[in-house]
Homo-oligomer: A and B are copies of this chain.
Amino acid sequence: MKEYIEANKERFFDELFSLLRIPSVSSLDEHKPDMMRCAQRLTELLKEAGADHAEIYPTSGHPVVFASRTVDPSLSTVLVYGHYDVQPVDPIELWNSDPFEPEIRDGAIYARGANDDKGQLFMHVKAFEYLSRTGKLRHNVKFILEGEEEIGSPSLAAWARDHKDLLKADIILVSDTTMISEQVPSINCGMRGLSYVEIKVTGPDKDLHSGHYGGAVANPVNVLCDIVSSLIDRDGHITVKGFYDDVIELSAEDRAKLARAPFDPDEYKKFLNIAEVKGEKGYTTLERTGIRPCLDVNGIWGGYTGEGAKTVLPSEAHAKISMRLVPDQDSEKITELFEKHIRSIAPPYVKVDVKRYHGGNGFLIPISSPAYQAASRAMTEVYGTEPVPSRGGGSIPILADLQKILGIDPLLMGFGLERDTIHSPNESYLLSQFFKGLESIILFYQYY
């Protein structure tokens, strides 16, 4: 295995870079043609890696890539999920190199998507290639690669419902998450769900001179700040009525188990360059991202944001807000509660509208499952230490949907690290993690 990887690694990089060079930003219309180019490149790579069949399926959004190799229908089937779309690159001025011209620096690949998720899904393509070409493949393998994960997978659930037979499998295998550190490997056994909304506050129907009207007319930006500020109380609790109704409190025992994961608060603060952490009262940092829901403004804008001073009382103010949910919370119900809450607190002197974006539920998978056990054994061999079961703070809402639609558990073998700053400038992926991930995936097939 190691010889094969060593002998082929330059080709691996060339192939991965050909994917990274395609700016497949799913949220921006201008990149629509890039989405198709990226899907096409993936089908080529999957066929070259050994797929019997690789096809692009159109959806109402960006296309889905499906590929498969059937070794023997009686063998068990692994369904690999990944996504080829990436986040926007703003603020572009903070990148040290072109986000769409990958560079290897200091032992890492730097590019948008280097980790999330092109780099991680590519390990699966190469693990599959190795097993196919060396005659060691003892599973049927299917790939389902979507182009809409970063915008909430609006098309894939419906597509999966229409192609249930095609997607039949025993396990969904995913590398789209992080591990605690290279020294402390971990496997995600749960992810948070997501509700994403946008608030628009409208005051006067035109921008006004803040001198002539200031003090007498409600300023939509000030009102938006009041609303946002009221959503979280002093103890870090979200004030949306009914928000915590379905949140199950973990037992002291379960919390103790999670607390075993190594965590250095000083390193964490140093990495982020912050003096203090902040979150819900009564919970640790790992609990705050792992087992508790939260609410964040992802973007806010209104009025004059250019250089210098403009004395305007703006007509509108906007905020994009996301709520991360724990597995028992239903994304649609939470979005409903949020909208209702906002309507109930909207003051009479402005108009407040809520727009719904995508959302999805969280999920939990059993540590006792054969797939988890196989992954744990593979990673123990590669990393020299047993991986810790962890709870991821992020959301891959589509996995909860696929679990429900297909009746298959997802297994999250994520090889990203915090340092990779996915979704931010200078996203990267350590070469050492790429190769360890690749080896772990190959061994997973051996032990599963």
Contact = CB atoms under 8 A, between A and B. Distances in A.
Interface in A203-229: 203-219, 221-222, 224-226, 228-229
A277 interface: yes
B313 A298 contact: yes
A215 B288 contact: yes
Interface stretch (A8-16, A165-173, A278-286): A278-286
Interface string A344-379: 000111100000011000000000000000000000
Interface string A267-308: 000001111111110000110110011111111111111111
Nearest to A226: B229
A88 B305 CA distance: 11
Nearest to A291: B215
B226 A310 contact: no
A418 B310 contact: no
Given A192-B211, A209-B394, A314-B298, A279 B418 contact: no
A329 to B, nearest CB: 13
Interface stretch (A45-53, A67-75, A422-430): A422-430
Contacts of A252: none
Contacts of A393: 211-216
A28 interface: yes
A204 B272 contact: yes
User: Oligomeric state, in number of copies?
Assistant: 2
A311 interface: yes
A273 B204 contact: yes
A228 B221 CA distance: 9
A90 interface: yes
B349 A276 contact: yes
Nearest to A319: B221
Contact of A272 (B208, B277, B289, B357): B208
A320 interface: yes
For the complex of A and B, list the 10 residue pairs with the smallest distance between their C-beta atoms, beginning with the closest: A211-B394, A215-B294, A27-B308, A299-B303, A229-B229, A205-B273, A221-B297, A218-B278, A225-B228, A204-B272
